[in-house]
Amino acid sequence: MARPSLEEQIKWINRVFKKYPRLERTLSFYKDILEVRMNIRSYLYDIEAMHLCNAVIKSLEEKALMNKKPITYILDIRIPSLNNILNAVNSIINILNKHEFNKELENLSKILSEERNLYSIFITASFRNESKTFIELSSKLGINLKLLTFIFNTLIQSFLEELARKTSKEFLDNWLDIPCPICGREPFIAKIRDKKKYLVCPLCGSEYRTSSLLCVNCGNRDPYTLGFLIDKNNSALKIDVCMKCRHYVKVIDEDLLKEEIPGGLEDILTLELDKIAELKGFKKY
């Protein structure tokens, strides 16, 4: 299943605000980001994504499987104009400032304007999931790594989601690796559907088949060192844990779910699971 459209995600947030009062601040921030993405998608990658025909997608899938690399790692990347990038970056920074995130981001637009090669480096690094590039530039520029990564991931996210919607189920079922087959991100959410387990990409939302016994952090398959924790308030939610590396993945069993958790909101609406896992000494990343 693909992630719903931006419009559908916003409708879902509007519906669940009252039901989750403790998550009001988080949901409000996420809604603001979705609205910004709606505004910037027309002059970034969304239009280009809409023109990805079946033949192009099939060719990308074949190359990805053959080279064992996610699609964006082999994609021919086209860089938008600097003005479009700056407008989009400023829109995202305004939301981050509205929600009282680090003010050091105010220098980012100036840096991008003065060092004109940087924006293409950031965009390429986002498509290729090159965390090392972001770490180096974050240190060099004195800008928070998580916020810097978030901004440029947000710029390409609509394109990635559309790419995931167009990708075939056969490709996703045949991938059989831990990183996302679309954009290479590491998952921290899984779903059970018709007794089959799927990993969920936190960025593009693709859902792809995986083994029932597998740690997505270290690759451990030993049933004696893999376990799970249960949310006593909701039997449809559990936490798969690895005793070797002490990492965890949140699992949503859609076969038992009484009320749908919409795509894009899985991590937010299961924050209680993070608290349970962290209290037991397990790590998400």
Range of the domain at 35: 6-166
Q: Are residues 145 and 192 in the same domain?
A: no
Residue 272 burial (C-beta neighbours within 10 Å; 0-12, 13-18, 19+)? middle
Residue partners of 142: CB distance under 8 A and separation at least 6: 104, 107
Q: Are residues 257 and 212 in the same domain?
A: yes
Overall average pLDDT of the 132-147 stretch: 93
Q: Are 258 and 248 in contact (CB under 8 A)?
A: no
Residue 215 sits in a domain whose CATH number is 3.90.1670.10
Last residue of a domain, one of 122, 147, 166: 166
Query: Predicted confidence band at 45 (pLDDT cuts at 50, 70, 90)?
Result: low
Q: Are residues 136 and 273 in the same domain?
A: no
Q: Is residue 267 part of a domain?
A: yes
Overall average pLDDT of the 62-74 stretch: 96
Last residue of a domain, one of 141, 166, 191: 166
- Closest among 219, 210, 201, 204 to 173, alpha carbons compared: 210
Q: Are residues 173 and 141 in the same domain?
A: no
Place of tokens 């059970």: 192
Instruction: Quote the number of domains for the chain.
Output: 2
Question: Which residues are 198's β-sheet partners?
Answer: 191, 209
Last residue of a domain, one of 166, 200, 225: 166
Asked whether residue 49 carries a pLDDT value surpassing 90, the answer given is no
Lowest mean pLDDT among 18-22, 52-56, 247-251: 52-56
Query: Under DSSP, is residue 195 helix (H, G, I), strand (E, B) or coil?
Result: coil
Overall average pLDDT of the 22-38 stretch: 95
Asked whether residue 48 carries a pLDDT value surpassing 70, the answer given is no
Output the pLDDT for position 51: 63
Q: Is residue 65 part of a domain?
A: yes
Q: Are residues 190 and 255 in the same domain?
A: yes
Q: Is residue 11 part of a domain?
A: yes
Q: Are residues 61 and 103 in the same domain?
A: yes
Q: Are residues 143 and 67 in the same domain?
A: yes
Asked whether residue 283 carries a pLDDT value surpassing 90, the answer given is yes
Q: Is residue 285 part of a domain?
A: no
Q: Are residues 173 and 264 in the same domain?
A: yes
The per-residue pLDDT for range 217-260, each reduced to its tens digit, is 999 999 999 999 988 888 899 999 999 999 999 999 999 998 88
Q: Is residue 229 part of a domain?
A: yes
Lowest mean pLDDT among 26-30, 107-111, 121-125, 150-154: 107-111
Q: Are residues 179 and 145 in the same domain?
A: no
Asked whether residue 275 carries a pLDDT value surpassing 80, the answer given is yes
Q: Are residues 77 and 197 in the same domain?
A: no
The per-residue pLDDT for range 79-89, each reduced to its tens digit, is 888 899 999 99
Claim: this prediction has a pTM higher than 0.75: yes
Asked whether residue 23 carries a pLDDT value surpassing 70, the answer given is yes
Q: Percent of the chain scored above 90 by pLDDT? A: 74
Q: Are residues 154 and 256 in the same domain?
A: no
